[in-house]
Amino acid sequence: MKELEYPFDGEDIIQKKKSFRRELLKQDALIPLRIAVLGGATTNDIIKVLELFLLKEGIRPEFYESEYNRYYEDAMFMNPELEEFSPEIIFICTCNRNIREYPEIDDSPEAVEMKLENEYSRFALMWDRLSSVYGCTIIQNNFEYPYYRLLGNRDASDCRGRVNFINRLNLRFSDYAAQHEKFFIHDINYESASYGLESWSDPFYWHMYKYALSVPAIPYFSFNVSNIIKSIMGRNKKVLMLDMDNTLWGGVIGDDGADNIETGQETPIGQAFSEFQGYVKSLGKMGVILTLNSKNDEKTALQGLLRADSVLSPDDFAAKRINWMPKSENLIDTAAELNLLPESFVFVDDNPAEREIVRQNVPGAAVPDIGNRAEYYINILDRSGFFENTALSKDDIARGEMYKANARRNESLNSFTDYGEYLRSLDMHGEIQSFIPAYMSRIAQLTNKSNQFNLTTRRYTQSEIEALEADNDYITLYGKLSDKFGDNGVVSVVIGHIMENACHIDLWIMSCRVLKRDMEFAMMDSLVEKCRERGIQKIIGYYYPTAKNGMVRDFYGLQGFKKTSSDPDGNTVWEFDVTEEYTAKNNYISVNGG
């Protein structure tokens, strides 16, 4: 829905939210999510607009909303209603009006210190209690700056100033976040600055309706919360696909020549393009996969990235389509090469006609209205939150390298005539075992973002994943794969529940970046072994078709299961006899050091 894409019109969203909601609810395959909003001020429209942004990301939220300014009581006391609701995310929506005791002008530094400690402890106790009672993810607003400064500029440097107090309190909140994995700060301090504090904190809305921010600012607020949530749910974009002429540099390289395009430090326009290239390069380091899609002669165009003053170089890109094909086809083609879905792409092109072609032909891919002024590209890309990263795992940082390693694997494949010989040459090592704490967040992330190689498309939160591991009625397996080109990290997950003497497979997923590497067989071998250890006789597999998982329709057949039932919707049930003689199916991966 275009109206909900950044840069959006906040007042327009407030006004039309009913009809937007009606429209968004027409989508199917929405992922349900229970969110408790514990507010320190009015939260009514914050929730309604948050719902819109989450629906846009394919998430269907159900809300628990605390009574006005009852966040603390709801969190700290017995709350059967909230326990019954069983939130997957708790969002504590407080603002600087909820600070109980600000420093007074006659306070000693020690007294201020005490107030800071008290304020922080009040919140920290609440977070500790919420995580022990509900075990779920917590999102907490930090504080926006005060609306006035009694001490003027000195408010920032004097410990009795509110600006100073809020800065220090926010740092304490951040420290807590750094030490707790399922705790995230919603940075309204930055947001309100970016929006304009005067408009954000317009006291009219506080006195009139007890809103902590102006109503027209609510969409910006809710949008940012939705970015955190979609990132936690593993629904971020993965690939940044870039045009070249007038996107990465000023001018048309085919006409002007590599020496005459604008980039580097010589001109203001060149500087703006260089700054954008630097931003793109940093995204690459964060794990965003960079690709090119340009109408050009490849050899000529790459000269632009080979200039001595170019920030980006051809090696930064995991795939390139520099040709005269329609850009939508290039995008779909690149997605197939990288084994990713087209909707995980963000396409950036200064030419509105090219943007329109991609928008029309690749539904689901993000095509921001980037405009045609290089100095604003960063703003639009950055504020859109496509790549908002809540965890920034080692896996993310290594991801770009992984895809580049895949490109090298493909090159290596071309030198073999026998595929088996190629697999052997990869020198693959797997680690397959029950879930361990180090990988819980990655496993949860994978269950939420795998769509293609996914037999049942069940989604799990991290808390659920942790609970399953501890439950003796479940068999859990994760698979990690590395080879001579690099480490792919955790790429496959299997979850089965045991009933009588059978293991029912609730989930079997694999990342498409390790397709055709025998990993699915290695997982099967380990599963059979686990079942045998526990005296299980049958494995029951289920396949539920979706728009995206056609590739695994016959997966269980391939693994040697027999189909026992099917229905008109295409749902199938399969059975595997564990008691029969079993020959290991994986021939190329050395598992667990074996």
In angstroms, rounded to a whole number, what is the distance separating the alpha carbons of residues 209 and 194?
A: 23
Stretch that binds another protein, among 13-21, 178-186, 222-230, 550-558 (CB under 8 A): 13-21
198 binds another protein (CB under 8 A): no
Q: Which of 168, 99, 94, 172 is nearest to 138 (CA)?
A: 94
DSSP state of 552: G
Stretch that binds another protein, among 141-149, 209-217, 379-387, 535-543 (CB under 8 A): 209-217
Residue 119 contacts by C-beta under 8 Å, 6 or more apart in sequence? Answer: 99, 100, 101, 169
Stretch that binds another protein, among 190-198, 201-209, 294-302, 574-582 (CB under 8 A): 201-209
Q: Are 103 and 51 in contact (CB under 8 A)?
A: no
For another protein, which is the closer residue by CB, 210 or 585?
A: 210
**Three-class DSSP category at 11:** helix
Phi, psi angles (nearest 5°) of residue 460:
-130, 145
In the structure encoding, which two tokens stand for residue 371, read together? Answer: 């405009």
DSSP state of 498: E
Which helix H or strand E contains 443, and what residues bound it? helix 440-449
Question: Which of 2, 26, 100, 207 is close enough to bind another protein by CB under 8 A?
Answer: 207
For the segment 28-47, give every residue that binds another protein (CB under 8 A): 44-45
In the structure encoding, which two tokens stand for residue 340, read together? Answer: 């990713």
22 binds another protein (CB under 8 A): yes
15 binds another protein (CB under 8 A): yes
In angstroms, rounded to a whole number, what is the distance separating the alpha carbons of residues 75 and 126?
A: 6
Q: Are 344 and 238 in contact (CB under 8 A)?
A: yes
In angstroms, rounded to a whole number, what is the distance separating the alpha carbons of residues 204 and 549?
A: 51
Beta-bridge partners for 345: 239
DSSP code per residue over 468-491: HHH-TTEEEEEEEEEETTEEEEEE
Stretch that binds another protein, among 190-198, 204-212, 500-508, 528-536 (CB under 8 A): 204-212
> Could you tell me the smallest distance in angstroms from the CB atom of residue 406 to another protein?
48
Question: Which of 3, 8, 14, 326 is close enough to bind another protein by CB under 8 A?
Answer: 14
> Could you tell me the smallest distance in angstroms from the CB atom of residue 3 to another protein?
12
Q: Which of 496, 480, 484 is nearest to 574 (CA)?
A: 496
For another protein, which is the closer residue by CB, 19 or 587?
A: 19
Stretch that binds another protein, among 51-59, 184-192, 207-215, 255-263 (CB under 8 A): 207-215
208 binds another protein (CB under 8 A): yes
215 binds another protein (CB under 8 A): yes
Q: Are 413 and 572 in contact (CB under 8 A)?
A: no
For another protein, which is the closer residue by CB, 44 or 323?
A: 44
69 binds another protein (CB under 8 A): no
Stretch that binds another protein, among 202-210, 294-302, 321-329, 370-378 (CB under 8 A): 202-210
> Could you tell me the smallest distance in angstroms from the CB atom of residue 41 to another protein?
13
In angstroms, rounded to a whole number, what is the distance separating the alpha carbons of residues 488 and 552?
A: 21
> Could you tell me the smallest distance in angstroms from the CB atom of residue 194 to another protein?
20
Question: Which of 7, 11, 266, 499 is close enough to bind another protein by CB under 8 A?
Answer: 11
> Could you tell me the smallest distance in angstroms from the CB atom of residue 419 to another protein?
57
Question: Which of 77, 204, 416, 419 is close enough to bind another protein by CB under 8 A?
Answer: 204
What number of other Cβ atoms are within 10 A of residue 26's Cβ?
A: 7
**Three-class DSSP category at 249:** strand
For another protein, which is the closer residue by CB, 32 or 203?
A: 203
Beta-bridge partners for 431: 480
Stretch that binds another protein, among 142-150, 200-208, 459-467, 486-494 (CB under 8 A): 200-208
209 binds another protein (CB under 8 A): yes
For another protein, which is the closer residue by CB, 63 or 376?
A: 63
For another protein, which is the closer residue by CB, 148 or 209?
A: 209
Q: Cα-atom radius of gyration of the chain, to the nearest Å? A: 26
Binding site for another protein (CB under 8 A): 11, 14-19, 22, 44-45, 204, 207-209, 211, 215-216
